[in-house]
Amino acid sequence: MHLQLRGVKSEDLEHLFQFQCEPEANDMADFPARDRNAFFEHWYQNILSNPAIAAQAIIVDDVVIGSIVLWQSENQWLLGYWVGREYWGKGYATNALRLFLSAHSTRPIFAEVAQHNVGSIAVLNKNGFTPIGVVEEADCDKPLLAFVLKN
């Protein structure tokens, strides 16, 4: 297995779109899937066109399996990642996040995770994030666990 990160390219978006359409993944993330137009518009207008956002594709053996994004909102650095369901439980997210964090020294970094998403909670814990509380988000049905990485 050869895992690497690289900047997200336009041709990666179809893979990422399909991953975010998986009902089980939406349930785990407690985040609704976007329709095709909304998804591509969001990526082109809000992520790929913004040089202040770090958006990396997770590549395993030359196959796009997910993405990691770091952006700033309300003077806080926020982290999000999404891995295709068929790649869950194999250590890819943990190792990709470790690689990503080694290349991005910005701290603190905050992340929010659905309380029932034990896999994602484990990924954050293994990468040094600590829980700091519970937050309510308008897009989510249930409160989310908030984490921070300070060093």
Given pLDDT bands bounded at 50, 70 and 90, which one contains residue 20? Answer: very high
At 138 the pLDDT is 62
Q: How many domains does the chain have?
A: 1
Q: How far is 75 from 46, CA to CA, in rounded Å?
A: 17
Statement: residue 24 has pLDDT above 80: yes
- Beta-carbon contacts of residue 44 (< 8 Å; ≥ 6 apart): none
At 139 the pLDDT is 63
Q: How far is 50 from 44, CA to CA, in rounded Å?
A: 9
Q: What residue numbers bound the domain in which 121 lies? A: 3-149
Q: How far is 28 from 9, CA to CA, in rounded Å?
A: 26
pLDDT digits (tens, 9 = 90+) for 99-110: 999 999 999 999
Kindly report the pTM of this predicted structure.
0.94
pLDDT digits (tens, 9 = 90+) for 43-96: 999 999 999 999 999 999 999 999 999 999 999 999 999 999 999 999 999 999
Taking residues 16-20, report their average pLDDT. Answer: 97
Residue 66 sits in a domain whose CATH number is 3.40.630.30
Taking residues 27-49, report their average pLDDT. Answer: 95
At 50 the pLDDT is 97
At 98 the pLDDT is 98
Q: Give which of 15, 100, 92 is closest to 60, Cα–Cα.
A: 92
User: Which amino acid belongs to residue 42?
Assistant: H
Mean pLDDT, the chain, whole residue set: 95
pLDDT digits (tens, 9 = 90+) for 98-141: 999 999 999 999 999 999 999 999 999 999 999 999 987 766 67
